[in-house]
Amino acid sequence: MKNNLRTCLAALLLCVLLLPGLSTAKSDNPSQIDVSRNNLIGYMLSKQLPVMHFSDKVMDDDLAFAAFDLYLKQLDYQKRFLLQSDVDKLSILAPGIDTNLLNGTIILPEVGCKLLNTRIGEVEKITKELLDRGFDYNRDEKYETDPEKLKYATSLSDLSERWRRTLKGQIISRYLDLVEEQQNEQKKKEGVEVEKKKSEKELWAEAEEKIAKRNRNFFNRLRQETKQDHYDRFFNAVARAFDPHTNYMPPANKEDFDIHMRGSLEGIGALLREEDGYIKVVSIIPGSASFRQGRLHAEDIILEVGQGDKEAVEITDMRLRDAVRLIRGPKGSEVRLTIKRPDGAKEMIPIQRDVVQIEETFVKSTLLEGSGGEKIGYVMIPSFYRDFEKTRNGSNARNSTDDTRIAIEGLKKQGISGLILDLRNDGGGSLMDAVDTTGLFIKFGPVVQVKNSYGNKRVLSDDDTSITWDGPLLVLVNQFSASASEILAAALQDYGRAVIVGGAHTHGKGTVQTLLNMNDNIPLLHLRRYEDLGALKVTIQKFYRVNGGSTQYKGVEPDIVLPSLFQHLKSGEQYLDNSLPWDQVEPVPYEKSGLASFDVDALLVKSQKRVANDDGLQAIADEAAKASERAKQTSISLKFSDMKNKREEARVAREKIGAHYLKYREEQDANHGNVAGSRSDPEKDKERWKEEVKEDPYIVESLHILAGI
């Protein structure tokens, strides 16, 4: 049916002229939105998405309500502006979203924009009055930090009370920051004449002024939001109602395009996304400044950005491209990120901007000693990379498969009896290399099935009968192993070729997207009638294992699960709004490997006994339990003494972690001990890395597991 729909798509778009509200007139006033252009975009989304998207979703009431929920989240996720009465007004429009799109009429963003701007003006006045009035910092009261647990305010007085507590908490937090900064400055200049120490009264006054200034800047930024921004976010909500990886991307310059396509931030090397009004870290680029510094991690939320002697800027509710402009900067300069951990803990992280060190992104290997004195090879694949430009030109392109093969051959010459393949924090990359790397460990056969939105399947196979390593094999994964790394781990698990070890599950990213230029789908009659319509990133394919199960949603479930600092996190495809479900197709014929048979149940029992007595892994398990409890405690005290004590507890906990098992933290698995500071001696760094790999408790346990294979 989809094939027929696709055939009819052009014909449907030819009818655009006949639809109400889709005139070809173009606004002469650049400050005004082009209503007919927006109506056309909405109409095209309603026609293209059901046809192109992998799922069988149609433009109906279910999808309309899903789009409305996403729209409402991006409009006021933290519930700081809208009243319940406003939400009720907007909710009336929810059932008509699908019909309005199909009819070429857009209503919701217009109403939402007007309501929000009215409330922003009222709240700005309220906050000024609150700041002028002052606060009782010793008053015993609490504040709920989790928006999901908050209801919308029922009145302006209710909203005023919510902001009073918010501002009070911000000022106390800023005061404590200033106290710490002054103490640190005193320590740095110990024995040297320094400026007179500021009194408590002066520090409180400074904290209040800084929060007042930040507040003014915050509202100034909100006023710069255009009506077109509201429309674009509405269109994106409609797209994301199909699945979290389907997006509408408005016209933008090259910088914005790069952000959407790669999420790459020059300077610190983090992949970010805009989610429910927050800027969230998706992953850290191997070899980048953040990678080497080691304190910024996936799932962290960036709350503020500061640099030089300037006051930090709050980036909550800021557009991604605007946040990127603040974070980017010249090599060698420092940016200060105030982040919130998934467990609610806050931390300020200074990062020195730098370029990606290419060598850190490539496959790395070393020789380890097994629990019985045997030689074990270790190979880490940070990502599945390939120089596609050289590949297209027929040149010899560097790729992760060849590098992995070379690393294994080098280890074999040293007489290894087992091999550890580390895919932790590997976010994927080249599908070709996921298939080819699998082929290094199996004789031949299918590796992954790919199904498109029309139900057609193709099987990607390893056709090379040569095997690089046919001995005992263990694969390490975690929650941030995604896409191509999941394909490799799943195939080796299905073939019985390796024992998979790690957290409860991998990320579960089992879909493929393509980018569609919306301007290419307009009939010739319209080519020069409208400005750029933007682009659409659409999920068009899904991965399936050779056993028929999808890698989507569930990810890969390890044979042996080890304690993880992230085990309490709602991280992965199964926690994203509207993610595609797990399903299965017919398996393809394949022969299980007889090269390395092992009893998984026996290995699991022995591993569990060792883990119970391993100090490093138990330290991780204990901290994970504490983090889980902290994550549940979202209501915080706003009494000054309580906040001060909480800050001190967090400081002591950080020092404890640093003293006892910072090197064991799972967030460091990808760089295995890279610490803050520059690396000037590559050879010393390489030797340091090799030593730190040996101390990683996950690798130590992997050596024990391999001994039983």
In terms of DSSP bridges, do strands 473-477 and 635-637 run parallel, antiparallel, or are they unpaired? unpaired
| Rounded Cα gap, residues 189 and 489, in angstroms | 53
Which residues, other chains included, contact 309 with Cβ-Cβ below 8 Å and sequence gap of 6+?
Answer: none
- CA 282/CA 293 separation, integer angstroms: 17
> Is residue 31 classed exposed, middle or buried when 0-12, 13-18 and 19+ CB atoms within 10 A define those classes?
exposed
Enter the tokens of residue 137: 């910092």
**Inter-CA distances, 532 with 48, 320, 535, Å:** 17, 20, 9
Query: CA-CA distance, 187 to 191, in Å (whole number)?
Result: 9
- b/e sequence 461-481, b meaning 16+ C-beta within 10 Å: bbeeeebbbebbbbbbbbbbb
353's tokens: 């901007």
Q: How many CB atoms lie within 10 A of CB 536?
A: 26
Count of beta carbons in the 10 Å neighbourhood of residue 362: 17
Q: Which residue has the tokens 């009261």?
A: 141
Specify the DSSP element, H or E, that contains 500. strand 499-502
Question: Which among 669, 693, 705 is positioned nearest to 368, based on CA atoms?
Answer: 693
483 included as an active-site residue: yes
| Secondary structure element (H or E) that encloses residue 487, with its range | helix 484-494
CA nearest neighbour of 41 among 301, 175, 236, 178: 236
509 is catalytic: yes
Q: Which helix (H) or strand (E) holds 647?
A: helix 640-660
Strand bridging mode 301-307 / 334-340: antiparallel
Question: Catalytic one among 509, 542, 554, 639?
Answer: 509
Among residues 283, 400, 453, 483, the one annotated as catalytic is: 483
How many other β-carbons are positioned within 10 Å of the β-carbon of residue 257?
15
Strand partners, 352: 334
Q: Which residue has the tokens 């006054």?
A: 205
Which of 317, 433, 494, 696 is flagged as catalytic? 494
* Closest among 414, 435, 525, 417 to 17, alpha carbons compared: 525
Distance separating alpha carbons of residues 680 and 686, to the nearest angstrom = 11
CA distance 369 to 704: 10
C-alpha dihedral sign at 317, 319, 320, 326: negative
CB 472 within 8 A of CB 416: no
Catalytic site residues? 483, 494, 509
